[in-house]
Amino acid sequence: MKQKIVSGMRPTGKLHLGHYLGVIDNWVQLQNDYDCYYFVADWHALTTKYDKTSELKQDILNVVMDWLACGIDPNKSTIYVQSLIPEIAELHLYLSMVTPQNWVERDPTLKDMAKILKTKEGTNTQISYGLMGYPVLMTADILMFNADLVPVGIDQVAHVELTRDIARRFNNVYNTDFFKEPQPKLNNCSLICGLDGNKMGKSYHNDIKISDTAEDTSKKIMSAITDRTRLRKDDLGHPDECEVAFKYWKIFGNDAETGTVRSECEQGLRGCAQCKRELGAKINERLVNIREKRNYYENHIDEVKDILKTGSQKAKEDAHVILDKVRSIVQMY
C-alpha cells in the first residue's frame, strides 16, 4: 500500500509563481508515488478572517483551479474542502482535550499573527480562541487520514512536530497505537523572489499570478529590477547583481540560455529591455499549457465544483472510518 500524504493551503485567492514553484509543483510530483490528500483549509482562513467571508467561496474555487491547471489530478489525488468534512472538527475536539494549554501557547507563528492583528482596525484585533487552537486543528487535518508524510514549508515544520507530540499523547492517554506520528517532508523551495526583489506575495503587489495573461506577464517582467549600476545598454553588466531578472533566468532558462545571457550581459552586448523581453517570452512558454487549462476550468466552473464534491465525498468516507475508531478508543457513547 502507498504511504499517505496530507497537505493543505489556505484559500488566499489566485495563486502566484511562488506557490507554483515552491508548493504545487511538489505536490504534482508526489501524486505518482503516494496516496495524496490535498485540501483547501477554509476553516484556517476563518481563524484570522472570520469577519471577511464574502469572497471565501470564490477564493476557494480560484485556488483549486490553479491546482488543477498546474497538474493536480483528481484521478490520482483526493481534492477536498476542509469544511465539507465535519469529521475533522469532531476529531479536533478530542485532540483538544488531550493537548496541554502550554503546547499551543508556545507556537511561534501565533506571536507573529498577534502582531499583524494588532495593526488592524475593527473588532478583529486579538487572538481568538479559534486562532489559538489552529495548530491543533492542523493536527486534526493530518491525523484525520493517519498520514505518513506532510509536505510543508520550513515555517510549518513546528506544527508537524506538534502533530507528532499530540499523536503520541493521545496514544498514551488511551493506551493505543492508533495514530501514526507523521513526518514533515520539506518542499524543495525554489524560492522565487518578487518583481521588486522582496519575497513574492500577493499583498506586496510584486507577484506574477498563475492566471495572469501572457501579455500581463510580459509587462510585469519589464518592471523587474535588474543590475542597478547599469545605465546604458552597452555598459558592462553584472548578472550576479541583477537582482531579479537574472535570478528568473536561472529558474526558467536552461543552462545554455542562462550562459548566453550571462556572457552577453557581461560583455555589454545585451540591453536589459531586450533581455527582459526574452525572459517574459521564456516564462510565458513555460506557462502556456497551465494557462490554457486554467482557462478551460474558468469556463467550466461546474466541473471544478463537481471535482470538489466528489473529492470531499471520498475524503468524508475515509474520515468517517477513522473517526469511528477514535470514538470507540475514547469510549464515547
Residue numbers of the site for ligand TRP (CB under 6 A)? Answer: 6-8, 10, 41, 44, 138, 141-142, 150, 152, 156
Q: Judged by CB under 6 A, does residue 248 bind ligand SF4?
A: no
Q: Judged by CB under 6 A, does residue 242 bind ligand SF4?
A: yes
Comparison of 149 and 265: residue with beta carbon closer to ligand SF4: 265
Partner from ligand SF4, ligand TRP, none binding residue 41, C-beta < 5-8 Å depending on class: ligand TRP
Q: Which of 328, 329, 325, 320 is nearest to 88 (CA)?
A: 320
| From candidates 7, 47, 156, 226, binder to ligand SF4 by CB under 6 A | 226
Comparison of 44 and 230: residue with beta carbon closer to ligand TRP: 44
What b-and-e string marks burial along 40-60, b requiring 16 or more CB atoms within 10 Å of the CB?
bbbbbbbbbbeeeeeebeebb
Residue 33 · residue 133 · CB < 8 Å? no
Minimum CB separation from ligand TRP for residue 243, in Å? 27
Q: Which of 45, 39, 56, 11 is nearest to 307 (CA)?
A: 39
| From candidates 72, 227, 297, 315, binder to ligand SF4 by CB under 6 A | 227
Q: Judged by CB under 6 A, does residue 225 bind ligand SF4?
A: no
Contacts of 105 (CB under 8 A, 6+ apart): 132
DSSP 233-293: TTSPP-GGGBTTHHHHHHHHS-HHHHHHHHHHHHTT-S-HHHHHHHHHHHHHHHHHHHHHH
Comparison of 38 and 249: residue with beta carbon closer to ligand TRP: 38
Q: What's the angle, vertex CA 50, arms to CA 46 and CA 52, rounded to 5?
A: 110
Partner from ligand SF4, ligand TRP, none binding residue 276, C-beta < 5-8 Å depending on class: ligand SF4
Task: Choose the binding region for ligand SF4 from 71-79, 139-147, 213-221, 265-273 (rule: CB under 6 A).
Answer: 265-273
Minimum CB separation from ligand TRP for residue 152, in Å? 5
Partner from ligand TRP, ligand SF4, none binding residue 226, C-beta < 5-8 Å depending on class: ligand SF4
Partner from ligand TRP, ligand SF4, none binding residue 16, C-beta < 5-8 Å depending on class: none
CA atoms lying within 13 Å on the CB side of residue 115: 5
Q: What torsion, rounded to 10 degrees, do the Cα atoms 22, 25, 31, 36 define? A: 40
Partner from ligand SF4, ligand TRP, none binding residue 245, C-beta < 5-8 Å depending on class: ligand SF4
Q: Judged by CB under 6 A, does residue 167 bind ligand SF4?
A: no
Q: Judged by CB under 6 A, does residue 270 bind ligand SF4?
A: yes
CA distance 332 to 176: 15
* Residue spans of beta strands (DSSP E) within 10-49: 35-40
Partner from ligand SF4, ligand TRP, none binding residue 312, C-beta < 5-8 Å depending on class: none
Minimum CB separation from ligand SF4 for residue 193, in Å? 14
| From candidates 19, 276, 282, 294, binder to ligand SF4 by CB under 6 A | 276
CA distance 254 to 65: 28
Cα–Cα distances (Å) from 12 to 8, 16, 129, in that order, read: 12, 10, 22
| From candidates 23, 275, 287, 308, binder to ligand SF4 by CB under 6 A | 275
Q: What is the CA radius of gyration of the chain?
A: 22
Per the document, the length of the chain is 333
Interacting residues with ligand SF4 (CB under 6 A): 226-227, 230, 237, 239, 242, 245-246, 261, 265, 270, 272, 275-276
